[in-house]
Amino acid sequence: MERWQNKVAVVTGASSGIGSAVAKDLVNSGLLVIGLARRVQRIEELKNQLPDDKNSQLVALKCDVSNLESVNETFDKIISKFGGIDVLINNAGCLKGGQLVTMDVNEMQQILQTNVMGVIYCTQKAFKSMKERKVDGHVVLVNSIAGHKVLACSEVPEFNIYPPSKFAITAITELLRQEFRGLGTKIKVTSISPGTVDTEILPDFIRKYANGCFLQAEDISSGIMYALSTPPHVQIHEMIIKPVGEM
């Protein structure tokens, strides 16, 4: 992680689960980390778990990634205060049980706004900062197994719009790779697709399906640290991490 020493990383959804684990690992690897979430107090609490000499390296900012105004305001603040963004971890996401044919469309709209538009809003802001400063940055997208196949978790699937939102991330990752290359940058892009991770996002129907096979948030963070630590000519484009025993 030598090349990222003292560089600025933004982690969305740093208030719990995978985002918290990534924020911690990045701070411990020598980066200045800006953790974003709506429950900003949770990120403040995370600072207390860091060694005394490291906890000033985690900055908590409130941001709702599903809201363009909130993202623009937050990223402008980050850029003016810390000079720019070198690494973006698009991790914030949400999932709610329900069937596509019956679920309240406003709830599904919120999932799409967060999981898809939120990623686009944050990536546009980070890309602009990387390009203006001619930085060979890295954009990571926390995808899902659900971004590659629609899982048959139960008799009537309860995933609704979540798999389409993550399939969009698979396509966005490839689009970004082509655009970054076509625009003459060396910015890397990585999609990481976890199987079942034991975090707050999991509704009961997935917990049952997992049948006791869970990854921990730290397992996904290790994968992200690996992708970030590769030499400049190596790009980990897609990574799938499943717990042993998962279907």
Which residue in the block uniquely carries the two structure tokens 């998962």? 246
Residues 113-152 that bind ligand NDP (CB under 6 A): 114, 142, 144
Q: Which H helix or E strand runs over 170?
A: helix 162-182
Angle at CA of residue 84, ends 83 and 85, nearest 5°: 145
**Residue 19 or 137: which CB sits closer to ligand NDP?**
19
What is the rounded distance in angstroms from the CA atom of residue 68 to the CA atom of residue 154? 35
Strands (E), the chain: 8-12, 32-37, 58-62, 87-90, 138-142, 188-194, 238-241
162 is catalytic: yes
91 binds ligand NDP (CB under 6 A): yes
16, 72, 185, 229: residue in contact with ligand NDP (rule CB under 6 A)? 16
62 binds ligand NDP (CB under 6 A): no
Q: Least separation, in Å, of the C-beta of 229 and ligand NDP?
A: 21
Angle at CA of residue 28, ends 25 and 30, nearest 5°: 115
Q: For the chain, how many residues are written? A: 247
163 binds ligand NDP (CB under 6 A): no
What is the rounded distance in angstroms from the CA atom of residue 101 to the CA atom of residue 160? 8
Name the segment binding ligand NDP (CB under 6 A); options: 3-11, 45-53, 64-72, 182-190.
Answer: 64-72
37, 58, 135, 161: residue in contact with ligand NDP (rule CB under 6 A)? 37
Which residue in the block uniquely carries the two structure tokens 């990536």? 123
Q: Least separation, in Å, of the C-beta of 88 and ligand NDP?
A: 14
Name the segment binding ligand NDP (CB under 6 A); options: 31-39, 49-57, 120-128, 129-137.
Answer: 31-39
Binding site for ligand NDP (CB under 6 A): 12-13, 15-19, 37-39, 63-66, 91-95, 114, 142, 144, 194, 196-197, 199-202, 217
Q: Which residues are catalytic?
A: 162
